Amino acid sequence: MAHEKIVVGVDIGSTKIAVIAAQGSTSGPRQNNIEILGFSEVPVPVGAVVNGSVENIKQVGSAIREALQEASSRSDLDIGIVNVSFGGTHVKIGTHSDGVIRPSASSGEEVTQRDVDQLVDDMYRAKIEPNYDVLHVLPMEFVVDNSPGVREPVGRTGIKLGGNFLIISANNQSIQRTKKSLADADQNLKCDKMVFGPLATSLAVLTDNEMKAGIALVDIGDHTTDLVIYQDRIVRHIATFPIGGRHITNDLAIGCGIQFENAEQLKKEYGVAVSADIPLNVEILVNFLAGRPPKQVLKKNVGLIIEERLKEIAAMVYAEIIKSGYLDKLIGGIVLTGGSANIDEIEVLFEKVTDMSVRVGYPENMERTAKADAVSNSSFNTAIGLAWAGLKLIDPRVKSVCKAPTVATTVIIPKEKPKEVKEPVKKIGTFWDSIIGKKDDSLGDY
């Protein structure tokens, strides 16, 4: 029998808090679709979240409180349990291998789901690095006795069960600040799952066929750009680069001699990723300073500035894909998401740089309603993915690849009393210097 469930995702970004309240089924005919019940988007003060890490608990808490109240009024729900995103340069991605001797192997029993889940659970207790907490354990291949490269170990016979894992860990101080900001928003608010932002986004914008064929998700955020590679429905590689949409805006501010906020508006309204077809004589008037006449800016120059920075990001991504060893296995190409994915012709530029097929990712599998139409843009991709994380597994082979801080069990919140829940819960590498040949001053000593 299908079980309807209400789930709430809270995406803590560098510029905004996005909240999605949705309803879906864990089985039955509706398990592939969700219904959007409520949503909200509230700006975050500059500096409150830096490089994906909460820095000002009070400001972020206040923004979360406002966003939850708005989503609650739209959905007629008392929101008490949420899934929350984490990400940024404090996140570390590493690989680890481990194995166990199965106690039941001597009796000839096959590997069970419990054996697999126990092996994964053991990985959470491994201290990969001081001051870091393991939040995701993503299995790649398993090993049963002397047979490596096993995708599905359940049902095989063998004495030793092992595996190769991607480990996502995060700085525990940063995670604590995120939890404190939730408590500041509402002392009774519980966190069911903490999910790495790009993984949540993948649940919202990638199709099952793309994950199977091989796909690279590129999430261009405000401070960082994240890369997640799927192949055969398995997460194979993750990387984060300390460059994002803010760097494009900063380039425009410097190149056009205007303030940052004017440059951000210029990017959103007139930004184009390919400048070749822009006429040389088209001017844009920018009100850059009160009491001063508008500044005349050539649209061609705006396009050139944006194009050069996006070429740099695309080259970094392509270099990392080559480094991962999966270039020839990504039949689906690249899916772009994040705020900067809204720049016109960005997919054309990425195709030129990477020679791969590229599309811009928007939320999939939502029941067509007015609320769904309102959130069908990249601003809500991660929040929608966080809602999906309460309905389906990130990796169907394992009961859970995600640990949360300490709370409850589910995210069903009718308007009376919240249900009790179980508490929620990461080496990032690039070699883009060898591709780009120069270091950008805006990246400091990275």
Give the tens place of pLDDT for each residue, 316-356. 999 999 999 999 999 999 999 998 999 999 999 999 999 99
| Residues 9 and 19: beta-carbon distance below 8 Å | yes
State the pLDDT at residue 428.
37
The confidence band for 129, taking pLDDT boundaries of 50, 70 and 90, is confident
Residue 323 structural domain: 207-362
Euclidean distance between CA atoms 361 and 202, whole angstroms: 9
Q: Based on the domain organization, do 217 and 159 belong to the same domain?
A: no
State the pLDDT at residue 171.
92
Judged against a pLDDT cut of 90, whether residue 284 lies above it is answered with yes
In sequence order, the β-bridge partners of residue 162 are 99, 143
Q: How much is the mean pLDDT over the chain?
A: 86
Instruction: With respect to residue 109, please indicate whether it lies within any of the assigned structural domains.
Output: yes
Q: Give pLDDT tens digits for 132-164.
A: 999 999 999 999 988 899 999 999 988 899 999
Tell me which of 327, 345, 362 is where a domain ends.
Answer: 362
Q: Based on the domain organization, do 232 and 325 belong to the same domain?
A: yes
Instruction: With respect to residue 310, please indicate whether it lies within any of the assigned structural domains.
Output: yes
Q: Based on the domain organization, do 221 and 141 belong to the same domain?
A: no
State the pLDDT at residue 97.
87
Q: Based on the domain organization, do 254 and 152 belong to the same domain?
A: no
Percent of the chain with pLDDT over 70: 87
Rounded alpha-carbon distances, angstroms, from residue 7 to 4, 34, 50, 58, 199: 10, 10, 27, 25, 17
Instruction: With respect to residue 422, please indicate whether it lies within any of the assigned structural domains.
Output: no
Judged against a pLDDT cut of 80, whether residue 44 lies above it is answered with yes
Mean pLDDT to the nearest integer, 53-76: 95
Mean pLDDT to the nearest integer, 58-82: 95
What CATH number is associated with residue 355?
Answer: 3.30.420.40
What CATH number is associated with residue 152?
Answer: 3.30.1490.110
Instruction: With respect to residue 98, please indicate whether it lies within any of the assigned structural domains.
Output: yes
What is the tally of structural domains in the chain?
2
Instruction: With respect to residue 159, please indicate whether it lies within any of the assigned structural domains.
Output: yes
| Residues 361 and 381: beta-carbon distance below 8 Å | yes
**Tokens 């799952």 appear where?**
193
Instruction: With respect to residue 382, please indicate whether it lies within any of the assigned structural domains.
Output: no
Judged against a pLDDT cut of 70, whether residue 58 lies above it is answered with yes
State the pLDDT at residue 264.
94
357/420: higher pLDDT: 357
108/5: higher pLDDT: 5
Q: Based on the domain organization, do 157 and 227 belong to the same domain?
A: no
Q: Based on the domain organization, do 224 and 353 belong to the same domain?
A: yes
State the pLDDT at residue 19.
97
Judged against a pLDDT cut of 60, whether residue 165 lies above it is answered with yes
Instruction: With respect to residue 86, please indicate whether it lies within any of the assigned structural domains.
Output: no
Q: Based on the domain organization, do 146 and 229 belong to the same domain?
A: no
State the pLDDT at residue 283.
92
Judged against a pLDDT cut of 90, whether residue 408 lies above it is answered with no
Judged against a pLDDT cut of 90, whether residue 415 lies above it is answered with no
Tell me which of 169, 196, 225 is where a domain ends.
Answer: 169
- The crossing angle, in degrees rounded to 10, of helices 346-354 and 299-324 is 50
Tell me which of 169, 197, 216 is where a domain ends.
Answer: 169
Q: Based on the domain organization, do 224 and 283 belong to the same domain?
A: yes
Q: Give pLDDT tens digits for 378-392.
A: 889 999 999 999 998
Q: Based on the domain organization, do 164 and 292 belong to the same domain?
A: no
State the pLDDT at residue 400.
73
| Residues 402 and 420: beta-carbon distance below 8 Å | no
Q: Based on the domain organization, do 327 and 213 belong to the same domain?
A: yes
Instruction: With respect to residue 144, please indicate whether it lies within any of the assigned structural domains.
Output: yes
| Residues 169 and 132: beta-carbon distance below 8 Å | yes
State the pLDDT at residue 340.
93
State the pLDDT at residue 27.
66
Mean pLDDT to the nearest integer, 280-306: 91
Mean pLDDT to the nearest integer, 402-431: 43
State the pLDDT at residue 412.
35
State the pLDDT at residue 2.
54
Judged against a pLDDT cut of 90, whether residue 123 lies above it is answered with no
The confidence band for 107, taking pLDDT boundaries of 50, 70 and 90, is low
Q: Based on the domain organization, do 240 and 352 belong to the same domain?
A: yes
State the pLDDT at residue 108.
64
State the pLDDT at residue 89.
86
State the burial class of residue 208 (Cβ atoms within 10 Å of its Cβ: 0-12, 13-18, 19+).
exposed
State the pLDDT at residue 105.
57
Q: Based on the domain organization, do 243 and 330 belong to the same domain?
A: yes
290/411: higher pLDDT: 290
The confidence band for 106, taking pLDDT boundaries of 50, 70 and 90, is low
State the pLDDT at residue 419.
45
